[in-house]
Structure 1
Amino acid sequence: MPKFVCYHCIYCCFFRDPIECPVLFPWEKRVIEDLLEDGETNTSFEPLEVWRDSKGVCIVTLYRWVIRGFCPFYDIVMRRCKIHEMKPLACQMFPLLVEVPSGKVMISSKCLWTKKNQKLLKELRRPEVIAHVFPSEFTAAVTVLQQYNSILEAVREEKLVRVNDFSSCKLFVDVDSYMVGDYGWRERRKEEGEEGDKTLL
């Protein structure tokens, strides 16, 4: 059975519709922000999944990295990613897509390799086959699911409430910052006399 080979086409790094754009964890978003050049105008970050605590603080668990046109880190001439070793998990696992929290794995139709291997796609209903055909991509997808489930467990423990209307949020805090800052678990646990810190990963 063949293994996935990247053809270095442009389709995974060019975006017309925001819904196609990568979904990032907050810590990934901050890495990308640090790597972006000053004055970069074709990219932005929008909260995608937000929760609210009892104090009214809005906690962001996922961002959508909105890219208009080519990704700013895509080398059009060389057809390579300029930050390959540091790119987000959403990029690492492509053409695999993970639906959270269900864990359903899908395959993007944008990928040229998948278009040329349509017959093989029927065999990819079994996880072990997906792991064989897309070894590194599947590993990245599993990591995404593990990290998301870890976040979800912490969110449930804190009894946070899902926010659908972001306009009601006056303050956004990244979930990992929330956990170690004045807003969340660590401070509350100190008040309750509990020892140790809760970590996501």
Structure 2
Amino acid sequence: MRTLTRLALTSLAVFTLAGCGDRPDATGQENSTAEAQAGASKLTLAATLKAGGAHAGLAKVMNNSGLMGALEGVGPYTLFAPADDALKGAGGADFTDAAMKAEGAALLRAHIVPGALTRADIIGAVDRSGSKGAQMRTMGGSLLTFTRSGNDLIATASDGASARLTGQEVLASNGMLQPLDGLLARPSAAPN
């Protein structure tokens, strides 16, 4: 019953945000889900991460955690991708270490939501929700709240961890990669 409730809430969050296209993005430019889909990459989210760039460390964590296969699948998913600098500063934890496999998987599930959500989708939902912010349930079961601070779009986890959406979003064949400047979960202490 709990799984059914979680699935229903997740679906509701996706459907709530799915119709949010054709809204100005954080830079004030028009962007819609249909326009974004027209420029979709042929790469999956997993292949996009493996291609390197600012998320090469995240690809290693994803591979170590065993979640790379999920991001090679059909999806769609939105991966709120912390930059490598945020992963390196995660309390000294090395999520690429085999001993941190479970912690890495939990951390990553806290950054993945079902559905392919553009910034325009998220901004539209935030604008409609008012001061309380738009909420989404992650694959890990935690709740993310999205708010605006000036032109910035801020994601805050239920444990208080927050990050700003930054950089260029990437539409993959099976979802959307949304870069972040921090982590949306407070990592547990690194093992000794």
The TM-score by the shorter chain falls in which range?
Answer: under 0.3
TM-score, with length taken from structure 1: 0.26
Between Structure 1 and Structure 2, whose CA radius of gyration is higher? 1
TM-score, with length taken from structure 2: 0.27
